[in-house]
Structure formats: structure tokens, C-alpha cells
Structure 1
């Protein structure tokens, strides 16, 4: 067999077994989707039975958005989300999550912020070093955002100046 020009000495061409997918290549039947957490305060986006690609949790009216991709220690970035419901650049930090090795990207946003509508629709998210992710819309994430807005602590009443108090 003739050697291809530029090929390493002694290189051998190997055939891939038929019907076997390459590592990291999906069979095309599995589709990522949103699923609600058992606590009712979180949702995750990903393929069934695999770690999530994106997750969102609510705590006292604040949404924590996590992009489950490796982040360098101490890194900060903007998670750019461009979708059917608008554009948002969410500041994220490399965050250590208990029970998980390494760091992943995480940021927070008030559930009352009008930009959260981007999270409820389909969007493309881009993060330095983590590439682009395509996320589809889903009822679980829309429901979580609505519940989170309602769970925000009531704002404190505006202070009243002494001159405004009726005697």
C-alpha cells in the first residue's frame, strides 16, 4: 500500500466498526430538554440520564444560572445569551460546587429582572472556552421563573420622613 505524502512513518489506516458512534457524537434520537428538580426550586437542561448542560435554581427571588462547563480557577466572563426573547449578557464566575470536581460557570440575576425572559425562550449561549450551546424553550423553566418572582421577599416600605407623619 503506498504511503500518503506527509503521513507519519509506519502509519496504519484503521477501519471504524460499522454502526458504532464516534465518542461524543449522539445517535440523533436523544434530544436535550428541560426537566424540573424534585424540590420545585430548580430546573436542568440536558440529555436524560446525563449531567446537565445548564441548570437554573431559585432562592428568595434570585435565579442562579449555571453553565456546566469547566471554568479556570478565578475566571470571570459574560455568558452571552441570544434568543427568541431578546439578548442578555450575564456576568458569571468560576464557582466550586460541593460534591463536584473543578470549577463551573455560575451567575445570578433577580427573577424580577426583565432580561430573564431570554431564559424562558430558546437561545444560543456562548461562553469563553465553553463554546456555544443551543437551548430550547420549555415549560419547566418558564414555570420556575414565575414561581421565583412570586417567592421574592416583599420589599421594605419606603422610609417616611418625620415631617410626613401626621400627628
Structure 2
């Protein structure tokens, strides 16, 4: 009887000394560990919490960058031979394609973008092209909200530098070639 009592007492004591199993979130991995982030560190890429992102034009007026002064741009637009190159400066997986959805004061546009290696940049960024005479270009000149899978949401304000890039690019775009004349309507 003493042995039975001692065994029950030992098992009861062992059951009471185990730590309770922490509750797991549904769909979370079994071995997930929650980490706390330091409160004193600023977010990467933003040194001055009071600065507002703005548009800045290049000296030649053929490109503009939107972002915090002195930091990597959030969005940039460049004109090359009558074609706009729109770059969302956010990491893109190699070979990825998506639609950069822009909803703004000047309309709505869904710009196809690809993961592109940009000279001078590490990794791949999202980049798409748009003809200067495309009527959807006006969305870039106004304020808009853009969303991109994996890059989140970005709110872009309207700016004179961007409107000037649009005007310069449209002026510098090559004019359309005249339509060929059919041989039967040509005069000898």
C-alpha cells in the first residue's frame, strides 16, 4: 500500500511540475518563435521621421524620383525615346510579373511590370513601360495610390517635376511615320 501511495504521489507531482503548452495560432508553424523588435530603432530607409516624400526632377528634365530627400526613391519615372519607364523601387523575385495598380485623381491604370535588374541597384526591382502618347500617362502626373503584390501600398503626391517630365517626354516623342501608300493609288 505504501508503494502504491508513493507511486501515485510521484506521478501527481510530476504532472504538476510540467510547464503548460503555449497556445498556438491556427495555421502557425509548430516551432514558431515570437521576437520583439527594439523600440528605439528607426525603420530602415527613413532617417528623418518628419520628412515628407516629394518629387525631384533630374537636371535634364527627362526623369523624376519620388521619395524622401537623400534616400532611395520609392518610385521613379524616366523618359527614353518617347517611352516612360516606371520603376517601383521594391524587391521583386527573379522572373516575376505583376500589375502595378494606380488609382488617382487623374484616373485608374494597371501597368504591367516585370522583375528587372537595374544598373547600380542590388537585386531586381519592378519596372514597366508606357508610351508617351498613351492617355493613361496623366495618372502619373496627379496624386495616386499604387499597389503591387509583395511591395505593398504607396501613396504618391502630385508634383510639378513629374508633370514637367510628362510634358518633355511627349514633346520629344518621335512622330508617327506616314502611312504607306498602296501601289494602286500611287500616281506615276
| Number of residue-to-residue matches in the alignment | 154
1:51 — aligned with what? Answer: 72
Moved over 6 A (4+): none
**Of 110, 113, 132, the match for 1:111:** 132
SS of the residue corresponding to residue 49 of structure 1 reads coil
The two structures have a TM-score, normalised by structure 1, of 0.85
1:96 is the counterpart of 2:96: no
1:165 is the counterpart of 2:170: no
SS of the residue corresponding to residue 179 of structure 2 reads coil
Q: Distance in 1 between matches of 2:118 and 2:104?
A: 28
**Bigger fraction of residues in strand:** 1
Q: Is the 8 A contact 2:114 2:127 kept in 1?
A: yes
Q: Distance in 2 between matches of 1:78 and 1:136?
A: 20
**Of 54, 57, 60, the match for 1:39:** 60
Q: Distance in 1 between matches of 2:130 and 2:65?
A: 17
Query: Post-superposition shift, 1:133?
Result: 0.3
- Give 5+ residue unaligned stretches, structure 2: 1-21, 23-35
1:84 is the counterpart of 2:109: no
Cα deviation 1:89-124 (Å, max 9, x = unaligned): 000000001122100000000010000111000000
- Give 5+ residue unaligned stretches, structure 1: 1-5, 7-12
**Of 152, 157, 160, the match for 1:136:** 157
Q: Distance in 1 between matches of 2:109 and 2:64?
A: 19
Q: How does 1:2-81 map to 2 (within 5 A)?
A: 20=40, 22-24=42-44, 28-81=49-102
The two structures have a TM-score, normalised by structure 2, of 0.76
Query: Post-superposition shift, 1:41?
Result: 1.4
Q: Distance in 1 between matches of 2:143 and 2:77?
A: 14
